[in-house]
Structure 1
């Protein structure tokens, strides 16, 4: 079995924070490293790039150790075959777009003419062939992002690192640039790691998600697996689900607060149970009939969510409910309002914890 281009175990101690993240990325694969602020995503990227030495573990590319403290091995950033796109792009302000892209190949030993020819080719590939002479201040945010991507790819990296590459763009430019970035990542034959906190970027660009919280991996898998079975509150919020943990006995899951949720899934032992906000129906009084999960709740807040409104509920079960503007008006939902919430057992999913 061929080793992946990137095989790493990132262990970094910084004061009271410890990063401990195993990471493998195959050739041609795009992995998104997702997590809340302070989870350790940027520390992981800096450790891979050689900007943050490891405390323990290793960084190995194509079977060659670049950082292994136990073996007293460390390769400086400029000698790693990595391309990096930083959040703020960090283009050299005094250089043209062409010379920004040519900078890496020049550092690799190409003469000026050859480096500029390669740079011109990459500017053409990212749709900026006519912008070669422009300085960074003369470029839009989307154009600067593409120059930064061309600069990273011009060194023919075995590993491409992207640190929040779309965060600085406005909504419209972000949508267009995301589509272009997806195309270029699909053509990259090395490993690619995307560091982001934006689930849309991760789901649109990555083949696999690695979720990090407090310096550790809490869940990983393809988008379908992660979104179907979130294992932490952060992941549940990321994919838009209400998540609870309890003790299951067949089709019933008893939560820590004493409330029991019914499900059509049969599970025994420690279990998670989830349902989407759209599955929550709100009523002015206790409903009769088919819903098997009902509870009294208090409206804690109402916010616009797409074409609907998201209602935050507190009570026996804290939950989010998505309802239409008409339903909000009909029920006169305002903070402090008392309602009954209901979720059909068939709308819940239960699975082992």
Structure 2
């Protein structure tokens, strides 16, 4: 998305580190929250550091509200401290010897704002975060959620045009994440400039972001709204992230051939390269070959592992003939009745109506 008037973020992040190369294009409009997702080592944190100016680009450009902050081709590079960028680090990095109020006032003071005015601004921000009564507390006296809000207030205190959040909820326990996630979403929704966050948690990304960009091996492999990404994953990593089985093959009508001996029947009619996706809950297992149950997709598979997954058992399998991976979610009762165990061979089946096919 681009605003059309030069405002917002326009970045082409190019870094060459020999064994690893980054080439990522990002455009984000004011008021939009973008989440960067990807496996470890994909380049998410490197991208965030490049946006902050903490890692220098070797190519491309970085423009914010029409102003060029960095462009190696013309030897232009604005130092990090002079960029209108606020950063919330994963561990918040609050100054332990300063109070919450002093932490928030630190940025404006560094920009030459008089002490009294900086403290008044800090007090206002802490009040907005619901932390007025904790203004005099030092970080060690704050809960994880409170520290996260102080870090957010500190990042906002300098009036940034780009807000960067590095795993903003990673330091919180599971109970605190739920409340703080909803609270952070409200604050981000009120932020009028650009916000970019890095997260490993798909739920954080789905709740906090308006748009997702998925990076693998230093390149963008998919981008779109959370709903688009969840419905049409295009790599194995994304499929695992949103909890789907994903296969790629050649479509001819309502059949997608995955290999010489395996084809899946779907409800969509396609021609050419195609993906087929379905949730683990759509997979049924049986000890014998299924009869005419409406599940036109059936094949032998071997169980390679089992683990608890919420109130179900996630069964990992590989196709007995082709080795294709498969995940199935079964109830505890079903697992017990079938006497499932690692190494056992079973029949897997999926109804065509429970699959979703789309062009590759």
TM-score normalised per structure 2: 0.96
Residue aligning to 2:325: 318
Residue aligning to 2:348: 341
User: What is the CA–CA distance in structure 2 between the aligned matches of 1:257 and 1:63, rounded to whole Å?
Assistant: 53
User: What is the CA–CA distance in structure 1 between the aligned matches of 2:134 and 2:24, rounded to whole Å?
Assistant: 40
DSSP-derived class of the 2:342 partner: coil
Of 269, 280, 285, 2:283 maps to 280
> For residues 109-124 of structure 1, what are the structure 2 equivalents within 5 Å?
109-124=112-127
Residue 338 of structure 1: CA displacement? 1.6
Q: Is the 8 A contact 1:4 1:24 kept in 2?
A: no
- How many residues are matched? 353
DSSP-derived class of the 2:91 partner: coil
Q: For structure 1, which segment, 236-245 or 127-136, has the greater mean C-alpha deviation from structure 2 after superposition? A: 127-136
Residue 105 of structure 1: CA displacement? 0.9
Structure 1 residue 168 and structure 2 residue 171: aligned?
yes
DSSP-derived class of the 1:245 partner: strand
DSSP-derived class of the 2:353 partner: helix
Deviation digits for residues 67-103 of structure 1 (CA, Å, limit 9, x no counterpart): 0001110001111111100001011111111010001
Q: Is the 8 A contact 1:312 1:320 kept in 2?
A: yes
Q: Structure 1 residues 343 and 103 mapped into 2: Cα distance closer, same or farther (>3 Å)?
A: same
Residue 257 of structure 1: CA displacement? 5.7
Structure 1 residue 38 and structure 2 residue 44: aligned?
no
Deviation digits for residues 230-269 of structure 1 (CA, Å, limit 9, x no counterpart): 0000000011000011111111111146411111111111
User: What is the CA–CA distance in structure 1 between the aligned matches of 2:26 and 2:142, rounded to whole Å?
Assistant: 35
Of 155, 159, 166, 1:156 maps to 159
DSSP-derived class of the 2:92 partner: coil
Of 163, 177, 180, 1:177 maps to 180
DSSP-derived class of the 2:35 partner: strand
> For residues 141-290 of structure 1, what are the structure 2 equivalents within 5 Å?
141-256=144-259, 258-289=261-292, 290=294
Unaligned ranges ≥5, structure 2: none
> For residues 11-160 of structure 1, what are the structure 2 equivalents within 5 Å?
11-160=14-163
Residue aligning to 2:5: 2
Q: For structure 1, which segment, 188-197 or 253-262, has the greater mean C-alpha deviation from structure 2 after superposition? A: 253-262
User: What is the CA–CA distance in structure 1 between the aligned matches of 2:99 and 2:168, rounded to whole Å?
Assistant: 20
Q: Is the 8 A contact 1:245 1:256 kept in 2?
A: no
TM-score normalised per structure 1: 0.98
User: What is the CA–CA distance in structure 2 between the aligned matches of 1:303 and 1:4, rounded to whole Å?
Assistant: 48
DSSP-derived class of the 1:278 partner: helix
User: What is the CA–CA distance in structure 1 between the aligned matches of 2:118 and 2:275, rounded to whole Å?
Assistant: 55
User: What is the CA–CA distance in structure 2 between the aligned matches of 1:224 and 1:169, rounded to whole Å?
Assistant: 26
